[in-house]
Amino acid sequence: MFGRLFNLVRGFFGLFVSGLEKANPRAMLEAEVLAFQEAVAQYNTNLAKQAGMVERLKEQIKRQKKELEQATARVTANFAAKNMEDAGRAALTAKQLKSDLTENEEQLRAADEMYKNLSRQRDVYVKEAQRKIEGIKQKLSKAEMAEAQAKLAEMASSTAFNLSGSGANLERLESNLDERIADAGGKARVAQDSMKSGGWVMKEEEQKALEAQALAEFAASMGLPGAAAPAAEKAPEPKDMGPSEEVKA
């Protein structure tokens, strides 16, 4: 009974999580990216430990080689000096060092090979994960754009436009703007017609006459030549319309 209840609860929980994943795909993607980064960091930590082991083996092998050289030199020297007991002890030490050196060199090869394999495995894993993440990002963007377009299409197809409401308001607004444009055009035409009437031309001629009169008066007061004020132009006298000359007989 408890097993069935546990399975039921687990099923409901699975459905709940699935619903959250579908409703929040971007949040799920961010969580997966974070988990991926943490996994890579942990992997690099273990890889660094493996690299440290390789370096320690290298140092140990280097030290053992030096000790082997020294033991070999002692064997040679004691053997040449006929110190067979000392030569035997040195030879035994050299033999043990050589055995340990061979074992450590084998461990070094295995450790270094494991480090290289782990590095390649990490690189493959990281590239594959990055490819999947980029693919999911692109699909997520496409899905969001498709959903937005579908929502706009659904709104356009289900919305009933009321011509007596917003449509009529737009028409009144357009009519008011047309009226303002027509009024502005009328005012501009009235101003242009008043300029064409010639009133401003008459004022300009009067101004020039006043300036000429003032100049003549100034010249007369200063005794300058041509001091006489300009005579007002007389209108031409009408021609005599009397009887024509008598025709000579």
Host domain of residue 97 = 26-157
Sequence-distant (6+) residues with CB within 8 A of 178 are: none
pLDDT tens digits in sequence order for the chain, 249 residues long: 545 544 544 554 444 445 555 557 778 778 888 888 888 899 899 999 999 999 999 999 999 999 999 999 999 998 888 888 888 998 999 999 999 999 999 999 999 999 999 999 889 888 888 888 888 888 887 877 777 777 777 776 665 555 455 556 767 777 888 888 888 888 877 777 665 655 555 566 777 888 888 888 877 877 776 555 454 444 444 444 444 444 443
In a domain, 233, yes or no: no
Coil, strand, or helix at residue 165? Answer: helix
Rounded Cα–Cα distance for residues 66 and 224 (Å): 128
pTM of the model as a whole: 0.47
Written as six digits, the tokens of 70 are 């020294």
In a domain, 50, yes or no: yes
In a domain, 236, yes or no: no
In a domain, 151, yes or no: yes
| Alpha helices (runs of H) in the chain, residue ranges in sequence order | 2-23, 25-80, 84-158, 168-196, 199-221
Q: Contact, 123 vs 44, CB < 8 A? A: no
Q: How many domains does the chain have?
A: 1
In a domain, 109, yes or no: yes
Query: What's at 122, amino acid-wise?
Result: R
In a domain, 240, yes or no: no
